[in-house]
Structure 1
Amino acid sequence: MTIAAWWRRQSPWLYLVPALTLLIVFTYVPVGNMVWYSFHKWDGLDVTMDPVGLDNYVRVFTDERYWRVFLVSLYYFVASFAQIAIALYFAVVLSFNVRFRNLFKGILFFPYLLNGVAVGFVFLYLFQPDGTLDSVLRLVGLGGHTELWLGDPDIANVSLAGTSVWRFTGLNFVLFLGAIQSIPGEIYEAADIDGANRWHRFRYIIAPGIRRIISLSFILAVSGSLAVFEIPFIMTGGANGTRTFVVQAYQTAFQFRQIGLASAMAVVLLAVVLALTWIQRKVLPDDEVNLS
């Protein structure tokens, strides 16, 4: 075999080396270290770690402080369905000829471009007592409906989940819009000839055509609702019943210096996300949709 022929065979793998190196160094090695830490008691500073076996995992599942915070994720999980519905609605509407279509696309996608910390501070001022939201309610004669939006445990998570919807709707919107616009125009023309209205277009053309993207959105909704961190951490610090599992893990690691226990929490979260994703893929298999 000549050198040129050998190079042609090996060059695709050589091009993958930088990407694989970064993936291994910054993803798989840290995950492996995290699993190793989870079987030890360590404060992150000592040069030695004390093996504790499965004690950290037993504590995660038996101590109410650690597993009850999973329930907070339900607020974000429910909100993610509203987020998907809103994004899908606007994607369908703006995929057709509408006045100021590009303007509305920019408005919907803009929140996703903002930094999560900046979004947290903006909505912190919006929801604070006598803040922007309370002032607007008084201005329109609804001053009696003002609440402690972040101070009342009954509505604090609803406020935070609403903030999450505002920020991430743009991502789903772009995914849906791109998928809808990839459907061949000839299919719409044939539907028009057959007398199909917009509901028929959505039900028989758009929905089957973007099924894979809808499936992806559900995966992102599940993983995102379990891994919420920035918004509750910035806006409430986890107070008033808004502490999510990731916020709890962060505080356990960096405030209470229990790196081993926090690593066990992270491993549990990873396992839960992978299991739910596997179940979702079985319920909604990623089959190719034939529109021809």
Structure 2
Amino acid sequence: VCLSGLFRGDIYKVIANLKFNLIDNLNADLFIFTWDRYVQYPGFCGDENWVYRLFGGKFLKKCPDELKTLSFLKQKFPNTYSKLNIEQGVQKINQKYIQDIVKCSNIQIQNEEEFISSLYLNMTSKRETNRIKMFYGIYKSIQMALEYEKINKFRYDYIFRVRPDIGLIGNIEIKDLNKLKNNELAVDFFSYGVQDQFFYAHRNVMIEVAKIWEYCYEKNDIFLRSFDSSHYLLFIYLTLRNILTVKPNFRRDVSLATRDNVFPNVAKELQEDFLKLNMKIENNINIKNFLEEMFLTSSN
């Protein structure tokens, strides 16, 4: 199991979920690549799915339609948006921090700023910077697994990629893995492309998927880098490599790390924004009640 990405939210809950549903069940080795900081509250994630990413499906079902896009919140509630879009509870972490949480076969930690500075690439947006860090983390975590193979003189049959801020719903057995063909990747596939948070496959397929880092950035493939969405880029890359997607055994719980978080106190900002708005927007009362339920019942 190759875990890669920024540690944020309730990492203890995420690791416990991962151990119970995947690692312990398959007696799997765990490799972790992360950055040298932990973030308690990450700010907004995504645009049209920000409510789902932070709070889960329960809140999404009762969310007023207007609030489902961040652009509405940013435009109508600028003070609230600004405060909520800043990372909170940031702290430096090291290998001992991770080892105290979970037993690993190997851990690598790097500084984000030093890594980005070392690339000498012209970053077109923050979105591309985050995508670069994601693909690099996937690559490094899988490289750790391959190095571990060499040292211990064996080969893994299957490799899993997992982000450290999502939960898994479901279970898997060896017989399920044995059904996978040598050109299949078990991953969620949507109209916008291939999901990048969790997937698994035979060793050879996962090595090929990890090489997207080399093609995009070490070889600076302009064609692949031209796709703004990591989901669509993954779809194009898998197509070029003749890798087929199949339905995974698990569903993802994308708000596991964040939905019980302590959020920044935005009581003052909400009041200021509503005073300026007055009754200029439709559904005013429902929006006010929903925002207060989300952020004022679980804030500092």
Q: Is the TM value for this pair above 0.5?
A: no
Shorter-chain TM range is under 0.3
TM-score, normalised via structure 2 length:
0.20
More strand by share: 2
TM-score, normalised via structure 1 length:
0.20
The structure number with the bigger radius of gyration is 1
